[in-house]
Amino acid sequence: NQSLNIEHFEAWRTKVFNFSLSDQMGTLVSRALELMMGVIINGDNVSNTEHFVRSLESEHKLAHERDPQSNVPIREVVYIL
């Protein structure tokens, strides 16, 4: 059910938003959730999805380079995702 999926992602997005106020990784996770929600709601619109993914990749690289704790195992896992 699409509405259940959206509600599920919205709940997670709220939690992640609070995390993003103090940690750039939260912002990356929030943007990844936005991408997933967009695909669920709109389907795989290739041009929009590609643009969003390129933007997210740039943000990911910058956040990873600036993260002094990027070698912490759980953070490494999140960066892999």
Q: What is the pLDDT of residue 4?
A: 64
CA torsion, ordered 7, 8, 12, 13, to nearest 10 deg: -40
Please report, rounded to a whole number, the percentage of residues in the chain having pLDDT higher than 70.
94
Largest CA distance in the chain: 40
Please report, rounded to a whole number, the percentage of residues in the chain having pLDDT higher than 90.
17
Residue pLDDT, tens place only, 4-39: 677 887 888 888 888 888 888 888 888 888 888 888
- The upper half-sphere exposure of residue 33, i.e. CA atoms within 13 Å in the direction of its Cβ, equals 21
List of residues 6+ apart from 64 with CB closer than 8 A:
70, 79
Work out the angle at residue 62's Cα, subtended by the Cα atoms of residues 56 and 68, and round it to the nearest 5 degrees.
Answer: 130
- The model scores a pTM over 0.85: no
Q: Which residue has the tokens 């709220």?
A: 14
For the chain, what are the domain ranges? 2-80
Q: What is the pLDDT of residue 30?
A: 86
